């Protein structure tokens, strides 16, 4: 299957992408991972991306598209992939359509994770990370530490990222509405969008997604 995963920040796309890719036996292609890999390996696209990020500027679509196309062209993606974080806007969506058409391929589904905005704000604004190990993540309501402000695992200080404040989250949501939501309409016109509620446990959401995708599995 060839799937695009969309949803607002805080919808759990990264977590669901990993579970779904494993269940469907296809590679999970994350924009964040692509950027980190290309920059760390010093690829031409990575060097270009780094120039923009160092200058505090947005990376042009052509660079993001180039990275995604290179990754989708690898042998392990020949029988499908799950895109997470790409396409992020209409220009990228059209580039993806063109790229697939050149290979006589199409998408099978665009899975939309639907979460109420109030829940998105609550999820992200309540998140706390460990300064010693960023992989240790807690939540003031859903997964609170035993001692406030202290990591249960290593004793490190817990903190809130600058872009996790309620004000920052609402800015990110506005950007999502303006830039990313139009691609949902673009794909709806092609009959590709499958929408599921992304509330509940990780396992419940994954099960819901697999059930929704089942009719489209070849």
Catalytic residue among 88, 132, 170, 179: 88
Catalytic residue among 36, 47, 74, 161: 161
- Is 122 an active-site residue? no
Catalytic residue among 2, 13, 122, 128: 13
- Is 127 an active-site residue? yes
E strand residue ranges, the chain: 2-6, 28-30, 81-84, 109-114, 127-130, 137-139, 158-159, 193-197
Residue listed under structure tokens 């950007």: 175
Residues whose CB is less than 8 angstroms from the CB of residue 78 and which lie 6 or more positions away in sequence, other chains included: none
Catalytic residue among 132, 172, 179, 208: 172
- Is 13 an active-site residue? yes
DSSP assignment of 97-159 equals: HHHHHHTT---SEEEEEE--HHHHHHHHHTEEEESS-TT-EEETTTB--SBTTB-TTT-PBEE
Catalytic residue among 2, 71, 122, 127: 127
Active site (catalytic) residues: 13, 88, 127, 161, 172
């Amino acid at each position: 299957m060839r799937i695009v995963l969309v949803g607002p920040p805080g919808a759990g796309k990264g977590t669901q992408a990993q579970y779904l890719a494993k269940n469907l036996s296809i590679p999970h292609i994350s924009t964040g991972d692509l950027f980190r890999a290309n920059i760390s390996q010093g690829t031409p696209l990575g060097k270009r991306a780094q120039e923009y990020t160092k200058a505090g500027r947005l990376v042009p679509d052509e660079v993001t598209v180039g990275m995604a196309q290179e990754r989708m062209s690898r042998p392990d993606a020949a029988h499908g992939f799950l895109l997470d974080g790409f396409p992020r806007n209409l220009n990228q969506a059209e580039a993806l359509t063109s790229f697939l058409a050149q290979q006589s391929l199409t998408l099978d589904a665009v899975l939309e994770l639907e979460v109420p905005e109030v829940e998105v704000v609550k999820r992200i604004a309540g998140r706390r990370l460990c300064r010693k190990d960023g992989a240790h993540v807690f939540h003031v309501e859903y997964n609170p530490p035993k001692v406030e402000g202290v990591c249960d695992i290593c004793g490190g200080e817990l903190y809130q990222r600058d872009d996790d404040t309620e004000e920052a989250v609402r800015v990110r949501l506005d950007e999502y509405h303006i830039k990313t939501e139009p691609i949902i309409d673009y794909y709806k016109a092609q009959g590709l969008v499958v929408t599921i509620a992304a509330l509940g446990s990780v396992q419940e959401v994954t099960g819901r997604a697999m059930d929704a995708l089942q009719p489209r599995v070849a």
